[in-house]
Amino acid sequence: MLTKSDIVQVSNGMQQAHGNIWSLSSKDDAIVIPVNVGWRQRDNRAVMGRGLAFQASQRWPWLRDRWGQHCRQRGADAIPCVFYIESKWARSVILFPSKPLNEEKPWLSWYGPSDLGLIKKHLPALSGLATDPITIKGQPILCGERILVPLIGCGNGNLDPVDIVPVLEQGLTHERFVLVHPETRTEEESEGSEDGADRLP
């Protein structure tokens, strides 16, 4: 769970910390999960086989069905989606597109690099979640008391933190946001399962 001692910096309102995002989060928080825009043709499930996407799919396997369905319906226009979880790790997870759709072979979208332009495009929507409630069972509720944000696009997305950190700092200025810098490669770059390396439709 994130404590005051974990906070290493405050810039433009955003807090920053180092550590494993799952260890720092609590049941009242939201966690941003970078994902690719794509799906497997054989079952319409999203490919979430690397990094935080893989770790989230292991905790909540149904995310692959829900995100894959969203991507299939919206294609390249897929947007960040909030999924209410209510678990010991988080109140919700926010699937955030960082890798664009491979239109010819959507099941290979995971294999491409993250796109800084795509990330910038969706930051306003993510920023709005700090103040705009979501509706759960007819009641308005914030997606999380804090919103923990990884270095989106780094690790398996091959973006350089030097490029992405200023973008996140400028786009996510509310104090609810906590930018989490991983201490090791296991969080952002974990290999996951063979399913993540699936290059078949």
Give mean pLDDT in consecutive 10-residue pieces for the chain, a chain of 201 residues: 54 86 95 97 93 96 97 96 93 96 95 96 96 84 93 94 95 95 60 48 61
Locate 78 and state its tokens.
């897929």
Yes or no: say if 92 and 144 are a contact pair by the CB < 8 Å rule.
yes
Strand partners for 86:
none
Nearest to 111 by CA among 196, 201, 43, 42: 196
pLDDT at 2: 54
* Closest C-alpha to 181, from 4, 9, 27: 9
Which residues lie below 8 Å from residue 10, measured CB to CB, with a gap of 6+? Answer: 16, 175
Residue 88's Cα: distance from chain center in Å? Answer: 18
CATH topology (fold) of 4-194 = Leucine Aminopeptidase, subunit E; domain 1 (3.40.220)
Query: What was the pLDDT predicted at 155?
Result: 85
For residue 198, the SS3 value is coil
pTM score of the predicted model: 0.88
pLDDT of residue 141: 86
What is the spatial order of strands in the sheet that 81-84 belongs to? 7-11, 14-18, 177-181, 147-149, 30-36, 92-99, 81-84
Q: Give domain limits for the chain.
A: 4-194
Q: Which helix (H) or strand (E) holds 103?
A: none
DSSP type of residue 137: T
The pair of three-digit structure tokens given for residue 19, joined into one six-digit string:
């550590």
Predicted local distance difference test score (pLDDT) of residue 194: 39
For residue 169, the one-letter residue type is: E
Q: Residue 193: its pLDDT value, please?
A: 43
